């Protein structure tokens, strides 16, 4: 019975995804504009990932980040959830824009059957920008929606 319920839920989520109401897989696409240049913005996020590269965090989400690569334009990393140890892939692309930097962020669950994620993929990205204080910079702007960022409108990145 549980297997049948799971597949019914999966089909429901696929229908919502096909209708454009939620992404077809637990993930988040978003764009930021920050005032420091891309070199500084990238370094601040790299430092935040290194700061939160620990496993002694209990049930908090602001840990278990890992930097895979950063070439100055593209950052790749991973975040592992502390309780269930789900792994999400993170990428950020940095592009100079005006006096600041346009950053495209993407986080996606490695779990193939993940449809809803309680905003985890959004928080993977948000917590790094917030932790590095880039969200406090002049003219900071974030752009996303539920259609491209799973459960964005119900996000509570401080819940743990």
- What is the tens place of the pLDDT at every residue in 115-157? 677 789 999 999 999 999 999 998 999 999 999 999 999 999 9
pTM here is 0.83
pLDDT bucket at 160, cuts 50 / 70 / 90: low
Domains and CATH numbers, the chain: 25-154 (3.30.530.20)
Cα–Cα distance measured from residue 78 to residue 50, given in angstroms and rounded to the nearest whole number = 12
* Distance (Å, whole) CA 19 – CA 128: 31
């Amino acid at each position: 019975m549980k297997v049948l319920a799971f597949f019914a839920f999966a089909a429901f989520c696929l229908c919502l995804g096909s209708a454009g109401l939620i992404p077809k897989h637990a993930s988040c696409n978003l764009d930021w504009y920050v005032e420091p240049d891309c070199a500084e913005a990238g370094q601040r996020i790299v430092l935040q990932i290194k700061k939160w590269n620990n496993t002694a965090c209990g049930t908090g989400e602001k840990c278990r980040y890992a930097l895979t690569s950063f070439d100055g334009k593209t950052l790749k990393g991973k975040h592992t959830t502390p309780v269930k140890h789900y792994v999400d892939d993170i990428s950020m692309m940095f592009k100079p824009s005006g006096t600041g930097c346009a950053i495209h962020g993407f986080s996606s669950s490695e779990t193939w059957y993940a449809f809803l994620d309680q905003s985890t993929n959004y928080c993977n990205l948000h917590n790094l920008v917030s932790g590095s204080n880039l969200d406090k910079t002049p003219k900071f702007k974030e752009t996303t929606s539920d259609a491209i960022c799973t459960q964005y409108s119900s996000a509570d990145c401080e819940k743990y």
